[in-house]
Amino acid sequence: METTLIIIKPDAVQRGLIGRIVSRFEDKGFQIVGAKLMRITRELAAAHYRDHAGKPFYNSLIEFITSQPVVVLAVRGLGAIEGARKMIGATAGLQAEPGTIRGDFGITNSLNLVHGSDSPEAAARELTLFFQAEELLTYDQPHGRWIYG
């Protein structure tokens, strides 16, 4: 089982899409093992987006992600990283496939609703930025056998 970080970004929070987005991950069979409603500080944003430092869009990323509350999730399941990325869709909403979060709810590249870790290494690093180890829970998912066999 993998655990990945999902951030429901300010645009999705402001549009009232939290429940609809969370339910997509749960409907797929992924387990929510950590969740927080929070404001991301500039320091945390800089650590999260460190790979983009120096790029022309870096400052706008920081401004956007710190502008309003977000919901951060730790999502666990078989193939959670790749599966979540497929569910999220292409960065720009107009290019994202219908049925994906961005394809169904997004239009632009900059207001793209959700972040999902893009690799096991990124997931491990990002999860430690947003969650203490004791905040990631392990619990029985009674219907799990109906998901994984």
The set of residues, in sequence order, having a beta carbon less than 8 Å from that of 92 and lying 6+ positions away, is 102, 106, 108, 109, 112
Distance of CA 63 to the CA centre of its chain: 18
* Catalytic center residues: 115
**Tokens found for residue 32:** 């929510």
Strand partners, 72: 7, 36
